[in-house]
Amino acid sequence: MSMMRPLDWMFLFGAVGQLTLAGLCLTFGKKSPVARPLLFLCLTMFGWCFTSLAWGLARTEAWGGGVVKAIGDLDAAVSALSPPFALHLVVTFVGGRRSYMRVVLVEYAFFAALSLSSALALVIPAMASWKDSWEWAATFLVGWVPALGLILVLLVRHLLSSTDPDEKGRTRMMLAAIGVAGVLATSDIARDLGFPLPHLAPIGALVSAILVANAVFRVRLFERDLSGSSAVYAVALAGTGVAAYLGVFRVLGGNIAALALGTVTVTAALGVAVYEMSVSAAAQRARVERLVALGRFSSQMAHDLKNPLASLKGALQFLEEERRRGRSLDDQHDFLGLMLEQVERLGRVADEYERIGRVEPVRRHVDVNQVVGRVVALEPFAAKGGISIVTDLAPDLPPCDIDADLVARALENLVRNALEAMPDGGNLTVRTAAGRAGNVREGRVIVSVEDCGKGMDARQAERAFNEFYTTKATGSGLGLAFVKRVAEAHGGDASLKSRVGEGTVVEMRLPALVPGE
């Protein structure tokens, strides 16, 4: 270690920072759409930092020329993969995968070809001069500069359009991290073109890792809270891994075969350690999610059981009072009938919850407008907080062969979610329509619930129907998942469209009966 230069130390710390962030992605980011592209970007940056460090050590310690050349070729091949991963990360972060995926694929193709040309220098001596030429650096800039410009534009636009303070914080962190790393990496490529600039890219790798890790812990980039012990463990594991790699290169650096075997061994050990940490974190998260779901389900069941139990209790208290006063109970047929009715109601509640758990429809010919009207009429929060419910029911809807109770409960979930999304009031619109493809009826009835609340960003909207996913502190993440299960159990489907600050529209599409059925 005494032979390491200041530049080598920068590469070393950059490698530890990027490997730490990769470990956090693997362990805690499984449910976040940004975790996968971030993981690949971090692994690429780690590979570049470490191969750059190893290349410097190989030259300092006069290892064999073959080792030095191999490490240099790997350095160039790995570094060429970082631009498309960075663009993929940002496009995913701002919710633009559908709009910009073609651009991302073009970047992948361009830089994969550049990376392959560098890797071929390992086996084709003629390619070595291309890898070390100014033409290679110029080609890199041709693909990277437009990508960096698009990255910065997307992040700035997302920052300006976001209304959620946490999302603004995440966007600022991402903008700073990729902006710093991108600009400093560009300066290093410019240095290869002959400009008299110092090596700044390793500083960018370290700073970007710190900023993104800060976003993970402080503003919930993975949309979950992480403990400080997670950070300590990740840093310790990454530091141990980098130290092990460094030890392998120190001891086996003069022998390419032994060096490759040692590197694979360390990588396998790191993989096992990360896997164990990931399994432990996933098991703990699953336990918490099950407890939350059980609590939510139990609360709803208790609510549904309290009314018939209260009626039973009142009837029994009345009859007990009558008996205590010595009066005959022969004339209390109404109360006895009420008690029997409430007992039957309790049985229906139990049967209903059992069926809801399995989502098994009991189908009947139903007018969906009547189901919607019943749900809206019974909604107790319609006038709260300046919220009003507006119905727009299409006339002459075809009937559907559905379970009215299941569909009504799904619709109640949608209305409740919409009301909770509008703390400042507004109109909540419930619509029905017949599905069409051009001027031809598709045999579908569409039920939509539209609110004018705070809305969701694209990352949240993509996962809205996932079980246990919720954006509410007290939510279980089961409501929209149940809606989708009900729609699919009837042979239909559900979809969601949302924009931050503009509201959300959820559609449930149910198959309609065609004439003759």
Q: Where are the domains of the chain?
A: 6-254, 292-358, 364-511
pLDDT of residue 258: 60
φ/ψ region of 157 (left if φ > 0, alpha if ψ in -120 to 50, else beta) reads: alpha
Question: Could you give the CA distance from residue 117 to residue 135 in angstroms, rounded to a whole number?
Answer: 12
Residue with tokens 């099950």: 290
pLDDT of residue 476: 44
DSSP assignment letter at 421:
T
Question: Could you give the CA distance from residue 233 to residue 147 in angstroms, rounded to a whole number?
Answer: 34
pLDDT of residue 427: 79
φ and ψ at residue 157, rounded to 5 degrees: -65, -40
Question: Under a CB-based contact definition with an 8 Å cutoff, are residues 360 and 328 in contact?
Answer: no
Question: Could you give the CA distance from residue 221 to residue 171 in angstroms, rounded to a whole number?
Answer: 9
Query: Domain 292-358 belongs to what topology?
Result: Helix Hairpins (1.10.287)
pLDDT of residue 110: 93
Question: Under a CB-based contact definition with an 8 Å cutoff, are residues 348 and 308 in contact?
Answer: no
pLDDT of residue 477: 44
Which 3-state string (H, E, C) describes 314-371?
Answer: HHHHHHHHHHHCCCCCCCCHHHHHHHHHHHHHHHHHHHHHHHHHHCCCCCEEECHHHH
Question: What CA–CA distances, in Å, run from 20 to 36, 172, 238, 330?
Answer: 15, 21, 5, 78
Question: Could you give the CA distance from residue 268 to residue 105 in angstroms, rounded to a whole number?
Answer: 30
pLDDT of residue 393: 85
Residue with tokens 């030429």: 133
Question: Could you give the CA distance from residue 324 to residue 435 in angstroms, rounded to a whole number?
Answer: 63
Closest CA to 247 of 236, 238, 259, 256: 259
pLDDT of residue 104: 92
Question: Under a CB-based contact definition with an 8 Å cutoff, are residues 384 and 347 in contact?
Answer: no
Cα-based angle 129, 202, 143 (whole degrees, multiple of 5): 55
**CATH number for domain 364-511, candidates 3.40.190.10, 3.30.565.10, 3.30.499.10, 3.30.450.40:** 3.30.565.10
**pLDDT values of the chain reduced to their tens digit, one per residue, 517 residues:** 446 677 778 888 888 888 888 888 877 777 788 888 888 888 888 888 877 777 777 666 555 455 556 666 677 778 888 899 999 999 988 888 778 889 999 999 999 998 888 877 666 766 667 767 788 888 888 999 999 999 999 999 888 887 778 888 888 999 999 888 888 888 888 877 777 877 788 888 888 888 888 888 877 787 777 777 777 877 887 778 777 777 776 666 555 556 556 655 666 666 666 556 656 666 666 666 566 656 656 666 676 677 677 777 777 777 777 777 777 766 666 767 777 777 777 776 676 666 555 666 777 888 888 888 887 776 654 446 677 777 888 888 888 888 888 888 888 878 887 887 777 777 788 888 887 543 334 578 888 888 887 777 766 766 666 655 555 544 444 567 778 888 888 888 888 887 777 788 888 888 887 554 4
DSSP-assigned beta bridge partners for residue 448:
431, 507
**CATH number for domain 6-254, candidates 3.40.630.30, 3.40.50.720, 1.20.1070.10, 1.10.569.10:** 1.20.1070.10
Question: Under a CB-based contact definition with an 8 Å cutoff, are residues 383 and 420 in contact?
Answer: no
As to burial, measured by CB atoms within 10 angstroms (0-12 exposed, 13-18 middle, 19+ buried), residue 401 is middle
